[in-house]
Structure 1
Amino acid sequence: MHTIVMTGGTRGIGRAAAAEVLRRDASAHLVLVGRAGSVRSAADALGPARVVPVGADLARLGDVRAATARIGHLLDAGDVPPLRTVAANAGVQLPDALHTTDGLETTFAVNVLSVHVLLRGLEPWLRAPARAVVTVSDTHFGDLRHNLGLVPAPRWSEPAVLARPGAFDRPGTVAAGRTAYSTSKLAAVHLVHAWARHAPAGVDVLSWNPAFVPGTGLTRAAGPATRFLNRRLLPLLARTPLLDTVGTAGASLAALLLGDLTAASGAYVDRRRVVPSSPESYDEAREDALWRFAEDVHAGVVV
């Protein structure tokens, strides 16, 4: 018996992955972390006997800290089996780079900082051999092949700059919001590389890229034209090798969470293949700077 803690498990790829994990592995229990109403509904639908909801707004890092403490209590009390896997699957893409939560730019807070706070908070309860999987995006490459011309390339700055609103030109525009997204995904890959150096022995931390998957709800805050493209036109391409369906991507994530694929800590998994991440993503100086900043955030030094 083992427990998987998952964010982003109430809709889209995460929901499909959660259902697949429960179908494939009778020994797996899930703890779903997210907005209280959403995780309760998902737990009821997936099966409350093996799914526990823990409410948290991932943009509020105090909520994430409280959620990890709650999960630790469940583990200590034996209410859920030992923790073997963490799936940091939640992500947001916003129509500008001005949204803030507790003073932090929301895209960076959810896509990067909440991941670190979640992993740091759960680290004492992870029982080796253990695996943490962070959902990233091939938009971090910044080229036409990987972003289909829909998302601008990432623009790196110091983490303290990226974590605040207005880090990009014309921050009130959709282009800035999408740049914040691709940059946050580059940061998430950097963070995984840093975690691979800092994680305890027997705990592997991986990046996972689902490729472009229409219909996930990621662009629900975008304009009507983008939402129409994502809902109506791009799903037709999911029948080709260019894109995947939600179900296919969910099955790939579930396979990674259940250990079907062997990968070294720090690896970048594209769908079901270990491949290099972008050349820009291999930068230990950036990774160390991001680690230090995220550690300060986790400790409450940065608010």
Structure 2
Amino acid sequence: MTDATRTLVMTGATGGIGLEAAREVLRRSPETHLVLLARESSAARVLPGLRNISPHVSAVPADLAAKDSVGTAAARVEDLLEAGGLPPLRGIVCNAGVHLSDALHTSEDGYELTFAVNVLATHLLLRRLHLQLRAPSRIVVTVSDAHFGDLRHTGGIMPAPRWSEPEVLFRPGAYPRSHRVRSGGRRAYTTSKLGAIHLVHEWARRLPGGIDILSYNPSLVTGTGLPRAMGGSAQFTMKWLVPVLEFTPLVDTPPAAGRKLADVVLGRTSAPTGSYIHRTQAMRSSAESYDADREQALWEWLERQT
């Protein structure tokens, strides 16, 4: 066993706010052994820099768009925990996500790719690893205020989510004009982030005491890869207009957003389980996101996929 005393498993830690948060966690919490779940090439690019901060960093190969790969990665983490190769598991951060130009991309298993990565992979990972968590523990799932889909939260860039039965949402071409950027790719993104909040609410009902799960919304962040995926006028807005706001309280840089995510991961941002954290504080997510029937239906469908 390493001389670290706790393990934190994290997806989406090889770039953007995830990488910044990983750096912050290692700087502030030297007792943490950080395990990255990522593609081998991506992990190889960031591991040397992270290990310059702390020796307690390792990586397990994972492709979040493939069920078998997620299962194999989770099994590897389980084996290491049970054999004493890692200290007790105290946290999971599901930060990875995709935003595509349409809703027609298909995962290896035949699911619409946005939902496969942003919702299904999160559930698969938690399903395998939640029994390994030792209280007190905290699970954090990165979401987006784009799930509101209104002018106040998206500036009109993003369409409102369009919820349907899970078997429809996870199917490529679930929306009218799924081939278009706004009505397809962006709507799949906002709907998947609504789904991720539904999933957090349902997990919060089912996890034992001492194991909390939270949604984290970084809001607008400059300098990420999001503009390339958004396309059209949104690409122009995100690339050229939003950075003008960088020195205002409305927008964060990746290091600032990463520090705030680290605050949530390390428990320095206080909130009860199931909460939605907007940057630095708990608040209510959209009215639509509180729907126990939807949440149970989503859970049951996801369980059938496992």
Question: TM class, shorter-chain normalised?
Answer: over 0.9
Indicate yes or no: 2:41 matched with 1:37: yes
| Identity of matched residues, % | 55
Distance (whole Å) between structure 2 residues aligned to residue 155 and residue 225 of structure 1: 21
Partner of 2:173: 166
1:226 Cα deviation from its structure 2 partner: 4.2
Determine helix, strand or coil for the equivalent of 1:238. Answer: helix
Distance (whole Å) between structure 1 residues aligned to residue 170 and residue 222 of structure 2: 28
Indicate yes or no: 2:188 matched with 1:184: no
How big is each residue's C-alpha offset from its partner over 1:65-103, in whole Å with a ceiling of 9 and x where there is no partner? Answer: 111001111111222211101000001100000000120
Matches within 5 A, 1:227-242: 227-242=235-250
Distance (whole Å) between structure 2 residues aligned to residue 30 and residue 155 of structure 1: 36
Task: Specify which of 254, 258, 264 is matched with residue 262 of structure 2.
Answer: 254
Distance (whole Å) between structure 2 residues aligned to residue 202 and residue 181 of structure 1: 31
Matches within 5 A, 1:259-298: 259-297=267-305
Task: Specify which of 94, 97, 105 is matched with residue 91 of structure 1.
Answer: 97
> Does the CA contact (< 8 Å) of 2:33 and 2:87 recur in 1?
yes
Q: Which is worse superposed, 15-24 or 222-231?
A: 222-231
Distance (whole Å) between structure 2 residues aligned to residue 281 and residue 291 of structure 1: 14
Distance (whole Å) between structure 2 residues aligned to residue 143 and residue 187 of structure 1: 17
1:219 Cα deviation from its structure 2 partner: 3.5
RMSD: 1.3
> Does the CA contact (< 8 Å) of 1:156 and 1:183 recur in 2?
yes
Determine helix, strand or coil for the equivalent of 1:117. Answer: helix
1:34 Cα deviation from its structure 2 partner: 1.4
1:227 Cα deviation from its structure 2 partner: 4.0
1:240 Cα deviation from its structure 2 partner: 1.1
Indicate yes or no: 2:21 matched with 1:13: no
1:218 Cα deviation from its structure 2 partner: 2.7
How big is each residue's C-alpha offset from its partner over 1:184-213, in whole Å with a ceiling of 9 and x where there is no partner? Answer: 000000000000011122211110100111
Indicate yes or no: 2:93 matched with 1:75: no
CA, structure 1 residues 231+78, in 2 after alignment: closer, same or farther (shift >3 Å)? farther
1:223 Cα deviation from its structure 2 partner: 3.0
Distance (whole Å) between structure 2 residues aligned to residue 148 and residue 68 of structure 1: 38
Amino acid in the other structure paired with 2:294: R
Determine helix, strand or coil for the equivalent of 1:205. Answer: strand
1:130 Cα deviation from its structure 2 partner: 0.7
1:29 Cα deviation from its structure 2 partner: 1.3
Task: Specify which of 91, 103, 127 is matched with residue 110 of structure 2.
Answer: 103
Distance (whole Å) between structure 2 residues aligned to residue 223 and residue 147 of structure 1: 15
Question: Could you tell me the TM-score, scaled by structure 2's length?
Answer: 0.94
> Does the CA contact (< 8 Å) of 2:186 and 2:230 recur in 1?
no
Structure 1: gaps of 5 or more residues: none
1:25 Cα deviation from its structure 2 partner: 1.1
Determine helix, strand or coil for the equivalent of 1:104. Answer: coil
Partner of 2:154: 147
Task: Specify which of 55, 58, 63 is matched with residue 49 of structure 1.
Answer: 55
